[in-house]
Amino acid sequence: MALSVAVTGSTGLVGGALALALGSAGHRVVRVVRGATAPAGDSAVRWDPDFGTIEASRLDGVDAVVHLSGESIARGRWTEAKKQRIRSSRVRSTIFLADTLARLPRPPRALVAASATGYYGSRGDQLLREESVSGTGFLADVCREWEAATAPAAHRGVRVVHLRTGVVLTPAGGALRTLLWPFRLGLGGPVGPGTQWMSWISIDDLCGAILHALTTESLAGPVNAVAPAPVTNREFATTLGRVLGRPAFLRLPAFAVHLLLGEMADELLLASTRAVPARLEATGFAFGDPALEGALRRLLSR
């Protein structure tokens, strides 16, 4: 059955890919965009969560909402001002959106809201499923508040899914695109000890997981949007080097990456998060890219 799906963050890396995937699957996409960037036509809803404005009536009756907007956590050093933007762009916008949906005469049946595996903090070798407790640190704090911000929609009876996403792999942007240049020059390698775990997912599987969450009525609450085979940082570097046909032995010491990036290095590059997609697998989701090497070869056409 074709759905009408409103998508925030539809101009971003994941949101843009999702809009295409939804359209290809026969669904109607309603882009929720900030004023000046809104395309013409009935498929756009203008909003500005910073000022509390939204064309709410145009969301009335949509089947589902996917909420992906938020300040990038990987661009720029984490100053106090940057951290405030990261938190505010997620928590405040989600509260505003959830409250808007709760007030609609015909609210959506489902809200799939972005979260992240940062919810778990750095947990060493511990295997992390959706029932695992939250960790400590800035990202864990943000993720807890981010997920709690959907409460108005849940109280209205909307089925809410918190999509705890790992590192999204796509050559179009994000971590993989950043790494391609040094690795192709033979300058790649592990970061820090290399033993820290990395939970990842290809962008195609992430879009598929979102569609699965939209159409699987039994899914609600946290869902780990990660591939079933997390890898260590060293394994990731070795595999990417092998796929590119380049050496990957140039280790970046932890003190150096911390000196360069500060707190962001500790929480993004040196943290160890070994999350698995227990609920996706339990509800029958089939991964197209279950293993890292195959995913990289497909994404990079190698």
pLDDT at 249 over 60: yes
DSSP state of 107: -
pLDDT at 41 over 50: no
The answer to whether 154 and 94 have CB atoms below 8 angstroms apart is no
The whole-number pLDDT of residue 37 equals 53
pLDDT at 39 over 60: no
The answer to whether 110 and 63 have CB atoms below 8 angstroms apart is yes
* % of the chain residues with pLDDT over 90: 89
pLDDT at 56 over 50: yes
Q: What is the mean pLDDT of residues 142-156?
A: 98
42: confidence class by pLDDT, cuts 50, 70, 90: very low
CA 113, 118, 122 angle in degrees (round to 5)?
A: 160
Q: Mapping DSSP to helix (H, G, I), strand (E, B) and coil, where does residue 112 land?
A: strand
The whole-number pLDDT of residue 36 equals 56
Residue type, 98: A
Residue 181: both structure tokens together? 């240049």
261: confidence class by pLDDT, cuts 50, 70, 90: confident
Give tens-digit pLDDT for 160-179: 999 999 999 999 999 999 99
Give tens-digit pLDDT for 64-109: 999 999 998 988 889 999 999 999 999 999 999 999 999 999 999 9
E strands, the chain, in order: 4-8, 28-33, 44-48, 53-54, 64-67, 110-116, 127-128, 159-165, 167-169, 197-198, 200-202, 221-225, 231-232, 274-275
Q: What is the mean pLDDT of residues 14-28?
A: 95
Q: Mapping DSSP to helix (H, G, I), strand (E, B) and coil, where does residue 191 land?
A: strand
Give the distance from CA 108 to its chain's centroid.
Answer: 21
Give tens-digit pLDDT for 180-195: 999 999 999 999 999 9
- Number of alpha helices (DSSP H) and beta strands (DSSP E) in the chain: 11, 14
Q: What is the mean pLDDT of residues 235-253?
A: 95
Question: Helix 203-215 crosses helix 13-24 at what angle (to 10 degrees)?
Answer: 60
Q: Domains in the chain, start-ordered, CATH in brackets? A: 4-170+201-229+274-288 (3.40.50.720)
Give the distance from CA 2 to its chain's centroid.
Answer: 24
pLDDT at 241 over 90: yes
